[in-house]
Every structure is written in structure tokens, then in C-alpha cells.
Amino acid sequence: MCCQKFDCFTGRIFRREKTDMERETVLVLDFGGQYNQLIARCVRECNVYAEVHPYTMTMDEILKMNPKGIIFTGGPNSVYDSTSPHYDPAIFDLGIPILGICYGSQLMAYLLEGTVSTAPVSEYGKTTVSVNTSSRLFHGIEETTDVWMSHTDYIEKVPDGFMVTATSKDCPTAAMECAGRKLYATQFHPEVSHTREGRKIISNFVYTICGCAGDWKMDSFVEAKIREIRDKVGDRKALCALSGGVDSSVAAVLMSKAIGKNLTCVFVDHGLLRKNEGDEVEAVFGAGGPYEMNFIRVNAQERFYEKLAGVEEPEKKRKIIGEEFIRVFEAEAKKIGAVDFLVQGTIYPDVIESGLGESAVIKSHHNVGGLPSCVDFKEIIEPLRMLFKDEVRKAGRELGIPEYLVGRQPFPGPGLGVRIVGEVTAEKVRIVQDADFIFREELEKAGLAGKAGQYFAALSNMRSVGVMGDFRTYDYAVVLRSVDTDDFMTASCTEIPFAVLQKCMNRIINEVKGVNRVLFDLTSKPPGTIELE
């Protein structure tokens, strides 16, 4: 029995033909910034591997990682407060190119004996800056460009040896650099889409300043990961927690290619799936499907409903569902016999949102923060742990998984348990299943299904008075949600034509018993999460 949660592949998930010392990696050092995952994504879009680590990472650990460059993230603190996160100034003497962003830029200035003070005028949102295009960081950037600011402090005096390379109306040091020491800093956020030429700035840092070749690609990841899994598992057995969603499906096929019949996929129907989904998953992965896998379906609906009875708080629901999943997998593993590994489709947003370093816990994902403290497996394998959703889809295509599976709508592991506000009951599950089916069907008919990143119906805990057929009703309100997103870390509301929403509303109220009101959720992420819980 192992009484801890293993992060088996953290920091070693990508093993290529090159050794770890040779592999190009940019380290993102997290000081509590809300955009740290976006920084990593921007670097990866340059075909350079990036990892996010907390600022508590030691200098020795950094040197072992041998990064081509380091990026300091933003953060909510003031660098001159004694409790704020700092770092050993010796990091600036390593000769490794460093880019400080927002708090990271102020920290660089502060540690190198510049002056950081409360700004006379704070800057939030879209801001126009003038840049020195002779800077290697701003090569090819327009002399006047729009960026995204979010700060109340500013660099009042740059450290000795630094020069100012960008300014705004209210910020005299929108960027600074000491090119000789390969130290660069921006007060603004180049990683967010609102910074018009931000991707180019990140690219300049990665290629021109760090000297990266950009040879990290998904086909290399898939080949290397299969070899790594074979070396790790050998002739031992593994059990894959298969939900039928994109992440677990890609993890299952990857593991199957690596260890073949030593893998058993266990699909737990917890009664919180979308309409008809249990049968659809079995048709794909079970007997007669396109994949020759050991496949077990466990119908555990009543078991989960009993555990969730009377529970309303969403974080508690997630943890109950997460633990019950593990207990079912443990029971199935004992039936199989001598199973050492549990395989999960954990991806990087799960890790980030469940709390990484200084980052806040947004929600405990059932396969990360939702795991119980004691797990009856020797190790947990998470082959996709360091990938974003779009990267998982790319890996799936490299594995030859059909597009209808790779492009499938994301679905949370806790299922409808986090799409039902309040207590979960069989009746509420039936309501949200039927409403969700109608919503997805109408978006497909309207040609919008392939354009939205994720869309679904959820059930609010609100009941209200209505009139149907001259009779008073007192029924639930269904909430429709559709978002546009690439990385699932940020999202904006999908613009759905009113006529389509009107048709969805009419069908749901007429066809789904127990509903008399339909709402549409306009909230972006942030401030909301994609799921409604």
C-alpha cells in the first residue's frame, strides 16, 4: 500500500533521443502569477519545451535542469514587502538568459539594487507603449504597440548597467534590459492575447536570445513516451482509468501501444455521464471496437449516488467522486491480480488548477487534488501530465486515433456531478442529460459544434414559478454554456445566434420534464471556470 500521491513524470515527462542535459527547456519560475501556464504555452508554440516550477526550486535543481532560458512570472505581491517571494540574486550570474514579466521584472530590478515603488498611476488593461526596436527582445516589433498591463508598482530606477527599452504614458520603465548579462524584463504581459505582438516577443526571447533550435514536436514526444513507458513498466501490469474522454482515451491508446495486453482499461459508469455515453464508450473500446484492449465496464451508478447523497459543496463532491473512483479501480485490480500501476489521463491544466507552487487551488481535479491520500497501487502513471488540451489532441492524431474521438467535447472526470449545482440525485442527472443532449444536437445542426471549444447544459439549484398549459409549475432552471478556447486555461463566451438559443430553450422546456426556465451563461474564464459548479 502506497500512502502518497506520486508525481512520477514531473520534470521527466518528455524523454527524447537527447539526454535531459541536451534537451532544450525553458524554465518558467512561478511567483504566483495567474498567467504562468500561458507563458509555458507561448514557449511551446515556438516548438521549445517549457515547464512551470515554483520559485522555491533551488539553484542546484535549476542547474540540473540545464535550461536554455528562465522566465520569471508575474505575481500579486510587492517586491519590497518582507513576506513577498524572492530568489537568490546569484541566479543572475549563471549566464542563463532571464526574462522577467510584471512582478518578475520588478523582482529583477529590486534584487539588482534598482528602485521599485508604488506607481503614481496604476495601469490595468490595454496600454500603448513605445519600444526600442534595436533591442533583441523587440526585433521586428512596431515602434508603438498595444500591450496588456496589470500593476500598481513600477520600476522607478533601473539597476546599474540596465537601459530602458519601452515606456508608456504612465510607466517610465515598461521594459528594461542588460543585454551583456542576457537579462530582460517587461512590465507588461507578452503572454496574453491582448498584447498584440506578444507571441513575437516571446519568440525573440526563445530563439534570438536563448538560442533555441525549436525541435520539440509532438511526434518526438509520442515515440519517446512509448519507449519510456516500456522501460518503466516492463512485463508488469497496469490499469488505465478510462472515461472515454479525450485525455483518458489518448492515455489508453498510448499505454496500449507501449505495453499491449499488460494494460487493462477499466471504464467506471458512475451514473454521471452524458446521455447514452456509457454505451458509446463501450462500443469504441470494448469487444468488437477498433482497439484490441482488455476492457472492463463497471456499472457503479447506485454506489456513487449513495456517496453523494446530501452533499452540496462542489469541492467536497469532487473529492468524494475522486476517492470512489480509486476504490473501484482498486477492487478491479485485485480481481485482475498483481497490478502495479494506475494510469490516468491527467493533463497540465488539471495540475495547474489543483495548485502548483504559489498558484491558488482553483478546483481539485478528481485525478490530482481529488485523489485520496492512500492509493493501493505502487505508482500512478500520468503520461500526459505536462500537456495542454490542444497538445493532447495532437498526440492523439500522431497515435492514429480517429478525429471523432480526438476532437470530442471535453468532459470532466466527476462528470455531471460538477454540472449539477447542489445535491446530486438520479432525477437531476436525468434532467441535465436530456437538456444537454438537446443543446448539443441543436449546435451541431446549426454548424456551431466544431467552432466552440466546449459547450454543455448544466442544472442550477434554482427553482422558480412558471406557467405551462394554464397550470402553475415550480421547476428547475437549466443553464446553457458554450465557450471559445484553445488551451482551456482562458475562455470567452461563444456568440451563438439568438434564433439557435431560442430553439434550444423551446425544446428543453417542452421536452425535458422538470424544467421551466433556460438561462445562457455569458461569463468568461477568468473570472469564472468553464464548468458551472
Q: Which amino acid is at 210?
A: C
Nearby residues of 150 by Cβ (< 8 Å), 6 or more positions away: 74, 102, 123, 124, 125, 189
Please report how many Cα atoms fall inside a 13 Å half-sphere around the Cα of residue 410, on the Cβ side. Answer: 26
**E strands present in 132-278:** 144-157, 163-168, 175-178, 183-186, 237-242, 263-269
CA distance 290 to 360: 41
Nearby residues of 316 by Cβ (< 8 Å), 6 or more positions away: none
CB 480 within 8 A of CB 519: yes
Alpha helices of 50-185 — where are they, by DSSP H? Answer: 59-65, 103-111
Nearby residues of 282 by Cβ (< 8 Å), 6 or more positions away: 267, 289, 295, 297
From 191, 324, 358, 398, the catalytic residue: 191
Phi then psi for 352, rounded to 5 degrees? -60, -50
From 151, 189, 270, 366, the catalytic residue: 189
Q: β-strand 183-186 against 49-54: which pairing, if any?
A: unpaired
Q: List the grid coordinates of 215.
A: 525541435
From 42, 46, 102, 178, the catalytic residue: 102
| Positive or negative torsion for Cα 440, 443, 444, 445 | positive
Q: Which amino acid is at 481?
A: R
Burial of 335 (0-12, 13-18, 19+ CB in 10 A): exposed
Burial of 35 (0-12, 13-18, 19+ CB in 10 A): buried
Q: List the grid coordinates of 330.
A: 482498486
Rounded to the nearest 10 degrees, the angle between the axes of helix 246-259 and helix 277-285 is 20
CA distances from 455 to 365, 411, 442 (A): 19, 10, 11
42 is catalytic: no
CA distance 459 to 515: 9
> What is the C-alpha end-to-end distance of the chain, expressed in Å?
33
CB 187 within 8 A of CB 149: yes
Task: Write b or e for each residue in 136-172: b if 16 or more Cβ atoms lie within 10 A of its Cβ, otherwise e.
Answer: bbbeebeeebebbbbbebbbeebbeebeebbbbeebb
CA distance 44 to 48: 5
CB 444 within 8 A of CB 347: no
Read off the DSSP letter of residue 509.
Answer: H
Just list the catalytic residues.
Answer: 102, 189, 191
